[in-house]
Structure 1
């Protein structure tokens, strides 16, 4: 049946046997007058449709490959294997269906199994010295089937020189002692070096003498390459881990040199100050958390806590730059907000740093017990007074390195005897993915629950706050106003 353009659009059945009706509809109905598209809407995807189109186009007989076809036999659907032959006859086509026997189907399944498993079977008769291989063995070994199988005694010659002794010993032990074997070996052909496996077992006569050998050859090249790639990946990961671990050790030493921790509580401008720094436990990089606590020439005290974004050498280098510059600016007369503005400019224009940092600076005027402070995108200081915990209201200030036009403001707080102030980095309160406000509430509750005033109280607080593995560095300044004696 042709369309307006003259191309074949369908095929009409002019005559059919009852058996053809059994194959197509399972009832033996007369198919005369019906069209193929009733059974296969897309002719090009159907074996019979392809056969008809091919035979019509070439004028030659089409011999199709076996294919699975579901038919109904005695009312029960079963999957059978068929092939079709289409022969041009005058202006018609003669279609012959060939149903393959179960042995043919099993042979096809065996061929599919060998192809999917990339393996093939081989037999050697030790008495007649005859050998037979499946086609897949020739493919695996890269051998022309016209040359025939290789005798068992000569099989080792196919392997590369390094693998021949092991394969030769295995064959000898099989022939002499009837020992089965499973031996890996390599061959070289136009495809390169290939990794193969030969598994063989003997068949003995009634005297126990091996007379025949059955086995299979399997191509393991793809698997072996994957294994080698995995080993290389593991080696690269271990090497990278060693490099990063060495970097961590170096950075930690550098950090300890730049950021020495006091061994005990110190006294600054009449305040008791305890310091804690705890590196992250998750990962192998050292972070950029830092602090400063010094007494100024005029008797005031300067407290600084900062957190540089990132980890590693760059973060520690930026930390050192900010730490020493901040102290120098305040010592030489800069206001807290002025120091933050200049540090922001320093970060923006430093060739070695393209990051950001948060910071809180506080200046304690001992004569007035007045705490002046400013911040750049940092967590707010915590104040414990009379058993009540509050967070100081943060003045304006964006994180350093974020904008060329920052705005910073100062705030102040009059401290009283017995007050406790905490300056800290976000590692103390953050637990992703929870909101940081949850962490701030947790810190407030922990401080209220541990109001101890003796030295070492900061360690008790940290134990309560830091459960499990630390994901970030933690830096804390614990500042206390002594009570009158």
Structure 2
């Protein structure tokens, strides 16, 4: 049995979501179809000069004759239009016209459709042309910047009478209530041409036309639209704006569509309504309807003087009938069908009603999605509608296609998608029923039939049979529900299953029936095992990496002992710093050397081996000690770099590369000779001047078998400060190197005069955020003249 708080609600809501998605997809398709239909109608009107209704009928006639859908016919019509070069060029009209608006895109069409839908629902509630004008202004003001709306009706003598207005005062309405058939009045021109007249240039328009309004300058731009479009328009819709300039293409399309909505409503006002039915007959029909099951209504058509059906009156309704406003049964009687279902206008249902009235043949619609209300909740269901002629009207009934077989199909889908099957055992009659999916989950051939509940453990593996047997015994004898995992052997392999069951008991507490379900959890169990294995592998790998880091860190600390305070070398004050990266678990290959040579010169080296870990630290140690040894025995800096490059190329890991800067200081002449291999340049601080030294040529170590290394010299002066560093001090992810170099320049200028702890202050300014690479810095200072020159021994 489904738990009311879990499975049933989840399945119901899943179905609701699926229905809503299907409805949304259907609405999108209808929107696209409507757009193609309107374009095809417009193209046909432009080519043949016919009216909109005639174009619609012609498209449908062609589709039926060719055995095509209406959408296919519309696309065929658009594709078969002559190219612009083949179309005749019409003679230019006398008055200037505005170029045609470009076609709307999908997003604009969707937005316009929503606006028109809201407008249509609102307009169906109005009862007069004056109220119609007021509602129009409410909708058009925010959409097209409308300030006033006028509705003029053509009179038999040829003049116009103001039928409705909004946004104007009484004085305006009184003065322009009657308009005689005078030349130059824009309303007559729009009615005669059968198409909108856009007045967007006040200076030119007031010369050519007689403009309504006092004064006309209050309305710099306006439009007159015939209602309906075409040469037989009886009404004209005027929209006046207080802003100048042309109407935007979107505004034009919306106004033309709004005029079409007005046409339908104005025809309703002009309808010669049929006389009400005999009250006795109506009461008898309603009494029958009150006893009818399902949803049904009796409709009486309302026609114009010309016989055109503009709406239907609801003369009877069953209690199950409901409209979009939530009215049911008797509350719907006497209302119009477009008031109860405004979205029906122009839809297939509307055309089906008309065909039934004309032919007398009952009409039955294709199933369609519609939102219904049940227990206060909006649900989308599938319906079909049937209309049959009855006493000059229509008997319309609709049926919801949510029958028992549909529910069974949904239950089957839930079992298949959830990979579970239900089972039922009647302990009194010994009847057993399994769903089809239960056989599939248990790996049992349906031809063998279901198993008794007590025999179900025979399907389980031997080690899982006893727990399942105990659970079944507790359910049968004590009514205790269970939720037990077990495994079964199938031709496809071992399956991990879960069985949940409960008992329905007699009044005395004796279990009479057992129902439950069995679910295949093999995929879930496999994923859990894979996850556990992956976690174990990651844990082992992390332990290896942490051990490697610890070993590399100990090795690095042994190779790079850091002095606790600045040291004196060859008369220079030298301070060093090494900071490991904050990100990652590996140690890097950054290093430094600052030693006093046998001839009392000083050697300064800063290097950076690419990569991290044990290999990088080992390569760093090899380069550090080899460089110190070669320079100590008299090898020049450039030769030393060349030999170190050769050493790196022929090491056990020839893929290693490194950058390095080497400097040798002669204290007697205060001369610093230096060379580099792909390393950032030293930074010199001299008084107020802070600059980077020009680098001599030199490719990084390990990149080429025949590189060139040059050297440069610098005379140091008392008070000078020279910074040698690795790229971790200046590089940051996502920013160019020049940005980091400029940041170091600013920090050195700000902390250049601080003799005590100057390197610490500089590092604090540079390393505000987390740094992802090791940082190594050698800070060399030349004492001022007052300090004199001291000497020291050893180095770091």
Q: TM-score, structure 2 length as denominator?
A: 0.49
For 1:422 and 1:473, the matched residues in 2 are separated by: 16
Q: What does residue 231 of structure 2 align with?
A: none
Which residue of 2 is the match for residue 191 of structure 1? 492
Q: Report what 1:463 is aligned to.
A: 764
Alignment of 1:204-223 (within 5 A): 204-223=505-524
Provide the residue aligned with 1:375 in structure 2: 676
CA deviation vs aligned residue, 1:210-241 (integer Å, no higher than 9, x gap): 21111111101011101111111111111111
The answer to whether residue 545 in structure 2 is matched with residue 244 in structure 1 is: yes
Distance in 2 between the 1:203 and 1:463 partners? 75
Counterpart position of 1:77: 368
Q: Distance in 1 between matches of 2:649 and 2:712?
A: 25
Higher helix residue share: 2
User: Given the alignment of the two structures, is residue 319 of structure 1 paired with residue 620 of structure 2, yes or no?
Assistant: yes
> Aligned pairs, how many?
410
* Corresponding position of 2:447: 146
Quote the residue 1:294 is aligned against.
595
Q: How many angstroms apart in 2 are the aligned matches of 1:264 and 1:170?
A: 75
Q: Which SS does the other structure have where 1:150 is aligned?
A: coil
Residue of structure 2 in register with 1:177 after alignment: 478
> Which of 730, 737, 757 is residue 436 of structure 1 equivalent to?
737
- The alignment status of 1:352 with 2:653, answered yes or no, reads yes
Asked if the contact 2:583–2:770 (Cα under 8 Å) also holds between the matched residues in 1, the reply is yes
- How big is the shift at 1:438? 0.5
Tell me the CA shift for residue 271 of structure 1.
0.7
The answer to whether residue 559 in structure 2 is matched with residue 255 in structure 1 is no
Deviations 1:326-346 (A, max 9, x none): 111111111111111111111
Q: Partners in 1 of 2:402 and 2:703 — Cα distance?
A: 79
Q: What is the Cα deviation at residue 40 of structure 1?
A: 13
Distance 1:107 1:232 in 2: 41
What do the CA deviations read for 1:414-454 (whole angstroms, capped 9, x no partner)?
Answer: 11111111100000010011001111111111122222443
Kept after mapping to 2: 8 A contact 1:318/1:353: no
Task: Note the C-alpha offset of 1:479.
Answer: 0.8
Give a deviation string over 1:105-151, Cα, whole Å, max 9, x none: 22222222211111111001122232111111111111122222121
Report the 3-state secondary structure (helix = DSSP H, G, I; strand = E; otherwise coil) of the residue aligned with 1:260: coil
Q: Distance in 2 between matches of 1:446 and 1:359?
A: 23
C-alpha contact 1:186 1:194 (8 A) present in aligned 2: yes
Instruction: Note the 1:321-470 alignment, pairs <5 A.
Output: 321-470=622-771
Higher strand share: 1
| Structure showing greater Rg | 2
Supply the distance in 2 between the matched residues of 1:476 and 1:137 (Cα, whole angstroms): 72
2:732–2:771 contact (8 Å) kept in structure 1 = no
Specify whether residues 106 and 336 from structure 1 end up closer, same or farther in structure 2 by C-alpha distance, changes over 3 A only: same
Q: Please say if residues 498 and 518 of structure 2, whose CA atoms lie closer than 8 Å, have aligned partners that are also in contact.
A: yes
Corresponding residue for 2:419? 118
CA contact (8 A) 2:605 2:663 kept: yes
Q: Is the 8 A contact 1:314 1:353 kept in 2?
A: no
Equivalent in the alignment of 2:378: none
Indicate if the aligned counterparts of 1:381 and 1:422 stay in contact, CA closer than 8 A.
Answer: yes
Aligned to 1:103: 404
Identify if the C-alpha distance between structure 1 residues 39 and 229 changes in structure 2 by more than 3 Å, giving closer, same or farther.
farther
Deviation at 1:80, TM superposition (A): 7.4
For residues 437-484 of structure 1, the C-alpha deviation after alignment (integer angstroms, 9 at most, x for no partner) is 111111111122222443432122212211232200111101111122
Report the Cα offset of residue 313 of structure 1: 1.3
SS at match of 2:606: strand
Partner Cα separation in structure 2 for residue 206 and residue 40 of structure 1: 64
Q: Is the 8 A contact 2:603 2:664 kept in 1?
A: yes
Q: Which residue of structure 1 lines up, in the alignment, with residue 437 of structure 2?
A: 136
Counterparts of 2:652 and 2:481 in 1: how far apart (Å)?
70
How many angstroms apart in 2 are the aligned matches of 1:175 and 1:40?
Answer: 63
Q: Which has the higher contact order (CA 8 A, sep 6+)?
A: 1
> In the alignment, what sits opposite 2:22?
none
Partner residue, 1:24: none
Classify 1:353/1:416 alpha carbon distance in 2 versus 1 (closer, same or farther; 3 Å): same
SS at match of 2:638: helix
SS at match of 1:280: coil
Report the aligned-residue RMSD: 2.7
How far apart in 2 are the matches of 1:388 and 1:178?
92
Match of 2:244 in 1: none
- The residue that corresponds to 2:467 in the other structure is 166
TM-score by length of 1: 0.79
CA distance in 1, matches of 2:541, 2:495: 31
Displacement of 1:34 in angstroms is: 8.6
Q: How far 1:166 moved relative to its partner?
A: 2.5
Contact 2:368 2:382 in 1 (8 A): no
Choose from 283, 295, 309 the match for 2:584: 283
C-alpha distance after superposition, 1:220-274 (max 9, x if no partner): 1011101111111111111111011111111111112222222221111011111
Distance 1:184 1:468, change over 3 A: farther
Q: Gaps (5+ residues) in structure 1?
A: 1-28, 42-70, 82-99
> Could you tell me how far apart the structure 2 residues matched to 1:334 and 1:195 are?
74
Matched residue SS, 1:432: coil
Q: Is the 8 A contact 1:265 1:455 kept in 2?
A: no
Q: Which moved more, 1:241-250 or 1:198-207?
A: 198-207
In the alignment, does 2:477 pair up with 1:477?
Answer: no
Which deviates further from its counterpart, 447-456 or 307-316? 447-456
